[in-house]
Structure 1
């Protein structure tokens, strides 16, 4: 490994690679920030000495090395991105914050293809930082981006490390909130339409809802994966009905999925909430536009986007913001349950 760049000066990135830590960890050590473990501190200091890295004022202020661009990386296809109100809300929040800063925001729809142009561009130093939303456990390239540039995640990443920065809601608590409403309403035969099992939002909402059922001495009459899409939830609802489970309530882990489930119930002549009560999750515009209007768990998606951008801007400004950022949830009761 080369000790320095062609110009003779070791870079922050080279120190991070040599120390086996993230770029943000090196930055915190160099700038005197807190929240660095003793082992990481020792590794960074050793790498600095070995590479003769000099974090002088001039090196820190080289404007030519700044792009003043931030990438919003979405590991989803365009159909899901443009069709799910969650994304429009979180992007609006991000843009609120970025537009008031010196930075520009660029959208990148990324994929796991090793030759993916979006991943390669973001990882090449062409942006100063990245915001990543809707990541899955299989999205290893997301970690590749995080190794090359400061990253803030929208949602706690699976396999979270002390160096990760993220903004999320307590999805376990949200699942509990939704299911408790159904149980307290007197529902006893409850089915669940959950999100993908490779996303913590899906895993945690299912976990929270099952905890409440277990505390009530109940078992779910059916659990189906709706893939956080309207079409996926419609198929999941069809499978529940075909199983003969005859639920009296359904917790659906997103409003978009609830819309798909409602369409199937309407075609089957099943009334909501008279025959089946439904609770969704998000409180997106979908919740108030469906018939009947949806009881749902409100997560502040726009605030989440703004908070993500704020954390990243603070990192880029040399500050040391909290790694973990949780936003509040609340149940919004309408006509579906």
Structure 2
């Protein structure tokens, strides 16, 4: 016996109306069951999903957007998408989103408050159903306030909001231990006997840099190490190269370099190699993050592991759960990974 949906012309794609008729439910119920946007009993949900499968019906997020609702798209804001740190976070987010039937739209920002603001507004315009903002906040409260006001407006409109890192905003968050990670890196070098240590770092306008710097300062004070010199540059490989050149030219007696991320550490290693300075025989190098390529560098990089992919997965699970209650904050740990790029200083 033919169903009513079979009587329509076969040339068109199946519609939500067809799914609702086949499942024996209202259009509203079918929509809620397919989007996960409301309370529908497991039995009705199963009927709707079976009908959608039989019809080969797929939800059209763009149509939902035009209708005024939020889409089953998770917005992810990152800095330097080609930075392995953010790439690994994105991989974790995409994995969990896919498990829940959501897609991910990535917005690449430029570590500037104006760029952050534009990214949030763009994703809001796309009516993403959840938004994860990954990366550092700013030392300047005014810069944070402008971006956070837009994020809070998004959350107030029904969107789910999660931060990875310190953003000075009351939302669910996944927080890496940046202070502890940097302290462990410095303590490792100090324990090896290094007392003339340079730090290559991203811009000091970022809270991540402030937190990691605090960790290094604590380790140095505890060991009465006074000669810690800094060079700031972009949080990139080229930035690492530029900062290392400045350190070596101004402080040729340094025996160790702490890079505040592994990407900058790769830049440091390349400069040392070009200058014929052996690592670790003359200068030791450490990073922070433990991106996948760290173990494949020459020499393999000593670093402090942060669980980036896990951070992305945790943030996505928070973003896709129902809203309600006090914000959840999940702190993640760190682990020193000693490889071939560090050794005691030359005698």
Give the equivalent residue in structure 2 for 1:144.
150
Is residue 290 of structure 1 aligned with residue 297 of structure 2? Answer: yes
Q: Check whether the contact 1:221–1:245 (CA below 8 A) recurs between aligned residues.
A: no
In structure 1, C-alpha distance between the alignment counterparts of 2:154 and 2:114, rounded to whole Å: 18
1:11-30 superposed matches below 5 A: none
In structure 2, C-alpha distance between the alignment counterparts of 1:198 and 1:240, rounded to whole Å: 20
Give the equivalent residue in structure 1 for 2:166.
156
Cα pair distance change 1:212/1:69, threshold 3 Å = same
Cα pair distance change 1:117/1:175, threshold 3 Å = closer
Give the equivalent residue in structure 1 for 2:134.
133
Cα pair distance change 1:114/1:290, threshold 3 Å = closer
Give the equivalent residue in structure 2 for 1:59.
none
1:236-247 superposed matches below 5 A: 236-247=243-254
CA displacement, residues 219-265 of structure 1 (integer Å, 9 cap, x when unaligned): 23420113221101111111011113411111111111001011111
Q: Check whether the contact 1:255–1:287 (CA below 8 A) recurs between aligned residues.
A: yes
Q: Secondary structure at the match of 2:304?
A: strand
Among 53, 66, 69, the alignment partner of 1:65 is 69
Cα pair distance change 1:238/1:286, threshold 3 Å = same
1:1-337 superposed matches below 5 A: 65-74=69-78, 76=79, 80-82=80-82, 84-110=83-109, 118-124=119-125, 126-137=127-138, 138=143, 140-141=146-147, 143-149=149-155, 150-157=160-167, 160-161=168-169, 163-314=170-321, 317-320=322-325, 322-337=327-342
Give the equivalent residue in structure 2 for 1:25.
none
> What CA RMSD, in Å, does the superposition of the two structures yield over aligned residues?
2.3
* Runs of 4+ deviating beyond 4 Å: 110-118
- How many residues get paired? 265
- My pick for the range that moved more, 266-275 or 114-123, is 114-123
In structure 2, C-alpha distance between the alignment counterparts of 1:309 and 1:236, rounded to whole Å: 35
CA displacement, residues 142-198 of structure 1 (integer Å, 9 cap, x when unaligned): 5413322331111111xx24x222112111000111001000111111111122222
What are the ranges of 5 or more consecutive residues in structure 2 without an aligned counterpart? 1-66, 343-347
In structure 2, C-alpha distance between the alignment counterparts of 1:219 and 1:187, rounded to whole Å: 11
Q: Secondary structure at the match of 1:240?
A: helix
What are the ranges of 5 or more consecutive residues in structure 1 without an aligned counterpart? 1-62
Q: Secondary structure at the match of 2:320?
A: helix
Give the equivalent residue in structure 1 for 2:345.
none
Cα pair distance change 1:229/1:73, threshold 3 Å = same
In structure 2, C-alpha distance between the alignment counterparts of 1:280 and 1:239, rounded to whole Å: 18
Cα pair distance change 1:327/1:242, threshold 3 Å = same
In structure 2, C-alpha distance between the alignment counterparts of 1:85 and 1:283, rounded to whole Å: 9
Q: Secondary structure at the match of 2:81?
A: helix
Cα pair distance change 1:135/1:146, threshold 3 Å = farther
1:131 CA drift (Å): 0.6
In structure 2, C-alpha distance between the alignment counterparts of 1:229 and 1:113, rounded to whole Å: 20
In structure 2, C-alpha distance between the alignment counterparts of 1:104 and 1:332, rounded to whole Å: 34
